[in-house]
Amino acid sequence: MGSAMVFPRFGGIPWLASSSWAYPALEVLHIVGIALLLGSLVVVELRVWGAAPALPLAALARLALPVTLAGFALVAMSGLLMFAANPNDMLANRAFLLKLGLVALAGLNAAVFHTRGSLARHDGLARALTVLSLGLWLGAIICGRWIAYL
């Protein structure tokens, strides 16, 4: 990949990349974090779209938000450690860089969603932001899978 020139002084954590158990364990934690993050988001987003109208959206969001944040924390922690295993190759990988961009945009989208009070407004913009959220997160997951192949 020609990535050795990106950070020639930082070789990462070689034992992590070569361990028969550490890196696969991080991948499992990463997947669990994705499931928590995306699963809780989808439930709230479905409610914004009008599913299960008997469930108060504010109460559902109070339940889901800590799960979403825990999932994101698990994804971020495991992702940073996987990155540290071989940072030069990751920084030279277009799928990885695109994934980071999509995650940043998903965070910005979430900030817009909550700042404008979309949980209290079930309008077209709130619904559009939920569709964008799902698209950004799915794009990040797809890029994450492509990292190994680029």
Domain-wise residue ranges, the chain: 15-149
- pLDDT of res. 10: 54
Distance separating alpha carbons of residues 142 and 12, to the nearest angstrom: 24
Residue with tokens 């799928």: 95
Range 50-62 average pLDDT:
96
Give the pLDDT confidence score for residue 9 in this predicted structure. Answer: 46
Task: Read off the pTM.
Answer: 0.88
Contact 48, 129 (CB under 8 A): no
Percentage of the chain beyond pLDDT 70 is 93
